[in-house]
Amino acid sequence: MLQPLRHIIPLTQTFQVLGIHFLEDEKVAYTLLTIHKKKDEFTLRKRIKTASLETVYKEIQTKHPLLLHFSGVGILHKKVVRTANYRKKLLFKANPDEFYFYELHQEESSFVSFCRKKIIDSHISAFTSKKYHVLNMAIGPFVVYALRSLLSENTIVSNASKLTFSKNKLLDFELSTSLETTKYKIDDLEFDTSEIALFALVIQHHIQEEALVIETSFLAQHKTDYTFFNATKTVGVLGILLLLAALLYGHFTLKKQQNLFAEKKAMMTQLTEANETVTLLELEKKNKETIVATSGLFHPKFLTQYFYEIGNSVEKNVVLTAIDITPLTKKIRDDKEVQFYKKQIHVEGVTTNDADFNNWIADLTAKTWVQKIEIEAYTQDRNQKKSFVIHLYF
């Protein structure tokens, strides 16, 4: 059943996924799985259940990525009708910015798990402070949606949640502390109710089901650090091999290498001269950019309101790719005066839904600071996506 996923998950990779299940009296139960894929075979190398965080620290390794799944006390789950601003209705008077939301969006309804950020952040910080690379996370049971096509069962139990599926859609869920422990078999792997969501997170991390949504931009730096960490190891090994090869080659071709060295030295002289020219040009450019920067046009206090209101008004099927406030009329040149489009904001993006785009334009037009909106371009590509360029006058 995993055959369709084999081309998506890297050829050889090990994933560590940790389940953090909150219990009463601030106790926590940990479930750790280490899943390895080599060529076309998946194996479960490690399965540990413990109440000790120190045990977890001893078992996970910094060289492999870490995925976190949160469940249990303090995490709420709801089925809601898909409407705008439904989060505020869920939270009453609470501030949505203080919560993480894990959402499963379907045509008419959404299933949501949410938890206060300070609870999640404290656990993530505990791992990142020890140099573990946390690349992704999930909250609640709805991540098992990623496994719906891999399991024959119509109901899936994850911890204390029972999810009912039909025709690849989630119909409903129920919570109970008396659900029986069930085993789920996927190829040669077997998971119980406390583990099935962990494997689903591994799959979701790679296939990125669009229906499952969580804001994890704060993990971007972790992903960058892990990429650099892996690259450093690879470069280090390759560097040693290349050094040994170069020494061996130089031993037998010393004279030839001396001639090459002389050629390289001459080339370096030319490059040095070219670099000096580039440095002067970059200095001139920096001086002009300093003039622009000190003009006040790009001060954060001047830009925050527009970035905030434009970004928060975006509809579901509209994605912004660029926002340029008071843009330059043309590229900076040494012999030309710097000029701007005054009181204009240029916005670029793509959409897959005309109605959402029109609603978004209507919302922008209604804002008090928007004087006029011009749509410069609205074109469709082969993938049914429509690219747009609009100008806002304020």
Please report, for the chain, the start and end positions of each structural domain, with discontinuous segments joined by +. Answer: 3-215, 253-293, 300-393
Name the more confident of 177 and 3: 177
Tell me: pLDDT of 91 over 90: no
Contacts of 279 (CB under 8 A, 6+ apart): none
CATH of segment(s) 3-215? 3.30.420.380
Name the more confident of 303 and 87: 87
For 352, the enclosing helix (H) or strand (E) is none
CATH says 300-393 is which class?
A: alpha beta
Q: What angle do CA 187, 189, 192 make, to 5 degrees?
A: 125
* Cα distances (angstroms) measured from residue 336 to each of 254, 329, 331: 53, 12, 9
- The model's confidence at residue 226, banded by pLDDT at 50, 70 and 90, is low
Tell me: pLDDT of 133 over 70: yes
For 151, the enclosing helix (H) or strand (E) is none
**Average pLDDT value over all residues in the chain:** 85
- The model's confidence at residue 303, banded by pLDDT at 50, 70 and 90, is low
Domains 3-215 and 300-393 share a fold: no
Q: Cα separation of 285 and 267, whole Å?
A: 27
Residue 79: the pLDDT is: 95
Q: What angle do CA 300, 302, 304 make, to 5 degrees?
A: 60
